[in-house]
Structure 1
Amino acid sequence: MYTFKNTEINNKKSSDFETKSLLYLLGMRSDSEEIELVTVDCFNDVTGSNADFSKLWDVQSKNHRSLPPSKIGESLSTLYDNYISTISFHDYILFIPRLKRDYLINPSINIYSYENINKEQKKGIEKKLKEKINGDKSGKVPPLFLDFLSKICFVEDNKRVSTYIKKISKFKNKRSIPEEIYNRIFLEIRNAQSALKNSYIENEKISHPSEVLKFNRHIRKADINTLLISRLVGIDVFSFPGIPLSFFDVLLDKDEEERKDLIQECNENLSRAFFDKNGCREFWKVTERLISLLKENPDDNIFDVYSNLMSTINVKTEHLTKETLLYMISLVKTGLTDAH
């Protein structure tokens, strides 16, 4: 049985730092593709999970202005609590600002294990962590103490807010979207994350990680991806009310039923391409190129844009058919027009 402790009650202001740690999980790790959702202030500040909750990534984030060894040790305590709990976590991550470089054996890296910390600093870290765990200054070594420390991953934040959003969106051309758009999206995610903390779950118990869903303190990757594409394109691609004006040229020679069927097919294809793990990168690549083409030539009709797109990019996913791409071009064209 797992009991939620030290949750932040009615905290209406989620820090940028916690949101960065959430986005780090979703877009900046080699195993980010496995993470399907992130819980907020349940097991820890943020905790990532795969689809069936068989794999959990636990993150404690600490945005202290100064992080002496004693503060580092104190910050590790909730990760230790989870390490010895009834739930198994795949990774234990302390997300922090840059440490003083003389704390580290190799100061050139910003993601490292406990072994990268110098012996002198380790003494202070371990002393404070023991005090925090034991509740006294006896210096007694807690269960699995050194084993726990060997499992910690330290991640230093050394990137701008916008970089975290760009990593999730998978856009390669950083100039195709204004910096302020990325910053606004970050704030929107931060506010959504903050709102999840307004419920009270202190001392609630669960027997399996999946039971955390009943508390509604989670954000799904799919929801963030949908938010991203709707904000970057300027329109909700997946629930557009009606038919984008420029797409009527594709529908001219069809009767009413054929039009309905084609619109439905295009929407389904877009969803498949977007939410398919193997095809989502293709979706982002096409979207980025579309935005670029339409910004360069906003008055081009959708057939010209499609022709230019096909001449500059190799669309590999079967879901993005010609009609689906023309529909997508129409949506993007509408979104960019309405945004100006």
Structure 2
Amino acid sequence: MAYTVTSSERLRPSGAEYETKALLYLMNFRNDSNDIYFFVVDFFNDLTGMDKMGTKLWDMQSKGAKTTSPKAIGKELVTLFKNFRSEMKFSYFLLFMGGVSNTVRLNNTINIFDISNIKPEAINKIKEGLLEESKEKTYIDHHSITDEEINTFLGKVQFIIDDKKPSEYVKSIVNVHPRIIPNEDTLNAIFNEIRDQQSSKKNIGVVENITIETSSEALDFCHHLTSSEIKLLVLGRIINRNPFDKGLPISFMSTLNRAPEEKRRSVLEDCQIALSRALFNKNRADDFWSLFENIYSIISSNPHDNLNMILSKLDNEFVNRSDFDAISLKYFISIVKDGIQ
């Protein structure tokens, strides 16, 4: 099974926002979002979600036009169609759009839909646009395309209409914990940081005409972000520091200094490992943010409390569901305390 990269794109500023919205949609707004770990940029398509082992693929094309016509939709589907016809197996085909014309949907209130919500006459125009665009692309053998193949492909496509501000896409990462949601300016700044990191992946080496045998090989070229990186960015913005920056948190010094000198390095490393495990454990994501919210609220209300006093005030339900032990939890409390004070 071979796959050759064709028509990879350089950064298009006008489309960068929608590519980031598409990423955060994959990360937070699907029933299967927890299965997506990697976000591969400008390799298979504008964006391709991938599970942790790199074997399951959510292929996504994003376009920012607000009133896309049926024929234009067909043209925009061409890279998804290319991947549908390839030897590589893609599990999902997704078209993320800024909007569509009134001639597209049967029910204009539904923003996530499949072909069953598209008017029959619009479907014909979509097919027409797809065929026209396929003839323009050298990477598709348009002579071998059949109606049956197009119908099968269109039956697998999911259409997503963007209906949120950039800040709302970021807010969804910690949406169940309103007390730690940053203000609008900070949310927008986080969105822009994610956008810039995503766009920068397009400039890491030339991947055009590269051939791979397995989907996970795409990760070798470093054209990807991970959900862990994005969560870390959000946490760092909330507490005004990267929790994994080198250097000892000042609030943790008195605790660490009680350990024998020869043990301090291993104690600190154990704390950092526990924090990494807690932050990046997808199965306990809500538990982590609940505990963080609890810590954040207590520190905000009791700014002069030391680590032991803060620890004693934490909700045991959140503590017991976390990946921390007593020492590593004090370490995390100290990072939050030093960051927000």
Normalising by structure 2, we get a TM-score of 0.89
Q: Contact 1:3/1:203 (CA < 8 Å) preserved in 2?
A: yes
For 1:1-340, what aligned pairs fall within 5 Å after superposition?
Answer: 1-9=2-10, 15-101=16-102, 103-135=104-136, 141-142=146-147, 144-169=149-174, 171-173=176-178, 176-198=181-203, 199-242=205-248, 244-251=249-256, 253-310=258-315, 314-317=318-321, 319-337=323-341
Superposed CA deviations along residues 198-228 of structure 1, whole A, max 9, x for unmatched, are 2322222222212212322111222222222
Secondary structure of 1:278's partner? helix
Q: Mark the runs of 5 or more structure 1 residues left unpaired by the alignment.
A: none
Tell me by how many angstroms 1:132 deviates: 1.8
Aligned length: 334
Secondary structure of 1:229's partner? helix
Q: Contact 1:12/1:195 (CA < 8 Å) preserved in 2?
A: no
In the superposition, relative to structure 1, how do residues 150 and 168 fare at CA in structure 2: closer, same or farther (>3 Å)?
A: same
Q: Which amino acid aligns with 2:313?
A: N
What percent of counterpart residues are identical? 34
Q: Which amino acid aligns with 2:333?
A: I
Superposed CA deviations along residues 264-305 of structure 1, whole A, max 9, x for unmatched, are 322222122222232232222211222233233333332332
Q: Contact 2:69/2:103 (CA < 8 Å) preserved in 1?
A: no
Tell me by how many angstroms 1:80 deviates: 0.7
Tell me by how many angstroms 1:5 deviates: 1.5
Q: Contact 1:162/1:179 (CA < 8 Å) preserved in 2?
A: yes
Tell me by how many angstroms 1:28 deviates: 1.5
Q: Which amino acid aligns with 1:333?
A: K
Report the more deviating stretch, 18-27 or 120-129.
Answer: 120-129
Q: Which amino acid aligns with 1:206?
A: I
Superposed CA deviations along residues 73-121 of structure 1, whole A, max 9, x for unmatched, are 1111111111111111010000012334563223222111111011122
**What RMSD, in angstroms, separates the aligned Cα atoms of the two structures?**
2.5
For residues 8 and 156 of structure 2, the distance between their equivalents in structure 1, rounded to whole angstroms, comes to 24
In the superposition, relative to structure 1, how do residues 10 and 187 fare at CA in structure 2: closer, same or farther (>3 Å)?
A: closer
Q: Which amino acid aligns with 1:69?
A: P
Q: Which amino acid aligns with 1:147?
A: T
For residues 320 and 339 of structure 2, the distance between their equivalents in structure 1, rounded to whole angstroms, comes to 25
In the superposition, relative to structure 1, how do residues 324 and 115 fare at CA in structure 2: closer, same or farther (>3 Å)?
A: same
Q: Contact 2:37/2:51 (CA < 8 Å) preserved in 1?
A: yes
Q: Which amino acid aligns with 1:9?
A: R
Q: Contact 2:38/2:225 (CA < 8 Å) preserved in 1?
A: yes
Normalising by structure 1, we get a TM-score of 0.89
In the superposition, relative to structure 1, how do residues 258 and 175 fare at CA in structure 2: closer, same or farther (>3 Å)?
A: closer
Tell me by how many angstroms 1:335 deviates: 0.9
Secondary structure of 1:239's partner? coil
Tell me by how many angstroms 1:184 deviates: 0.9
Secondary structure of 2:96's partner? strand
Q: Which amino acid aligns with 1:297?
A: N
For residues 13 and 70 of structure 2, the distance between their equivalents in structure 1, rounded to whole angstroms, comes to 30
In the superposition, relative to structure 1, how do residues 153 and 336 fare at CA in structure 2: closer, same or farther (>3 Å)?
A: same
Q: Which amino acid aligns with 1:272?
A: R
In the superposition, relative to structure 1, how do residues 171 and 72 fare at CA in structure 2: closer, same or farther (>3 Å)?
A: same
Q: Contact 2:80/2:93 (CA < 8 Å) preserved in 1?
A: yes
In the superposition, relative to structure 1, how do residues 11 and 202 fare at CA in structure 2: closer, same or farther (>3 Å)?
A: farther
Q: Which amino acid aligns with 1:211?
A: E
In the superposition, relative to structure 1, how do residues 174 and 5 fare at CA in structure 2: closer, same or farther (>3 Å)?
A: farther
